[in-house]
Amino acid sequence: MQIIDGKALSQKIKTSLKEETSLLKDNQNIVPGLAVIIIGDDPASRAYVGMKAKACKDVGFYSIVHEMPNSITQEEIIDTIKMMNNNPRIDGILVQLPLPNHIDTDKILEVIEPKKDVDGFHAYNVGRLVTGLDSFVACTPLGVMEMFKKYNIELEGKDVCVVGASNIVGKPMASLLLNANATVTVTHIFTKDLASHTSKADIVVVGVGVPHLIKEDMIKEGAVVIDIGINRLEDGSLTGDVDYQNVAPKCSYITPVPGGVGPMTIAMLLSNTLKSATKRGL
């Protein structure tokens, strides 16, 4: 069993991004810029936005955070996004989810200029992903694909079970795997017998936010298990969607929580922002 170290891999990627950013600045006088909108005072969202801002600083990006109260109107958010769409210093625009109930998330995401949609949530980029064209891809699934690549985990012809069908993780993950010629099964809350699907899979990717959903008897010997879930227990500790202690001995590769997929998400956000900035210079 080998642990996939997302923390170490993300650090290597950030080092490379820092070098590329420096070259872009020296050669074309372009500094990648990322703008983040955060609404309300959810502690988890604030912590995550803080991590993103620090990561931008570490690699030499320009970043700005727009903090808005829960009472903000949809029109005010849209106006802010349109302002950033027109700002030549901003290469990436990110709206921290989830949004308050009175805000239509789909409408907000559609306002973002597709070429600045570094989260990969705009329908334009989703459509290009599904059809196998170059696009901005949701950062968490993209990070998982980078893990497969760096650890030489073959996808072509493999049976892969994706547990979870969200627009942010499950659906783009399935599209990326299909594009890599894997045979993909997508399961979700309405799936009748989850174990019948996971137990046959060469690779299981799970991201649903249910602590220890995936048990030892649901995974076959030698499987690769990617745990995207992150859950805070009553004692304050973090755990994934996989019963790591009991599942890990059966796996050929497995990601830990924390220290697995999480750090890769931010690394891919930086990578997407640099990609956008590079296109600005063309």
φ and ψ of 19, to 5 deg: -65, -45
pTM confidence score: 0.95
Q: Active-site residue 2, yes or no?
A: no
Reply yes or no on whether the pLDDT at 255 is more than 80: yes
Residue 136's pLDDT is 98
Rounded CA separation 123/187 (Å):
22
Rounded CA separation 134/230 (Å):
29
Domain with CATH 3.40.50.720 in the chain: 139-262
User: Helix H segments across the chain?
Assistant: 6-28, 43-59, 74-85, 105-111, 123-130, 139-150, 170-179, 194-198, 244-247, 261-280
Q: At what angle do helices 43-59 and 261-280 cross, to 10 degrees?
A: 50
| pLDDT higher at 79 or 41 | 79
Rounded CA separation 120/130 (Å):
12
Burial of 274 (0-12, 13-18, 19+ CB in 10 A): buried
Rounded CA separation 19/27 (Å):
12
pLDDT tens digits, 223-243: 999 999 999 889 989 999 999
Q: Which of 14, 91, 117, 119 is catalytic?
A: 119
CATH for 29-115 is: 3.40.50.10860
pLDDT tens digits, 78-135: 999 999 999 999 999 999 999 999 999 999 999 999 999 999 999 999 999 999 999 9
Cα 147 off chain centre by? 12
Q: Active-site residue 52, yes or no?
A: yes
Q: Which of 14, 52, 116, 158 is catalytic?
A: 52
Q: Which of 14, 96, 117, 202 is catalytic?
A: 96
Domain with CATH 3.40.50.10860 in the chain: 29-115
First and final C-alpha spacing in the chain: 45
Query: What does the radius of gyration of the chain's CA atoms come to, in whole angstroms?
Result: 19
pLDDT tens digits, 206-219: 999 999 999 999 99
For residue 114 the two structure tokens come to: 């597709």
Rounded CA separation 245/251 (Å):
11
User: Helix H segments across 193-253?
Assistant: 194-198, 244-247
Residue percentage of the chain with pLDDT more than 70: 100
**CATH 3.30.420.40 correct for 139-262:** no
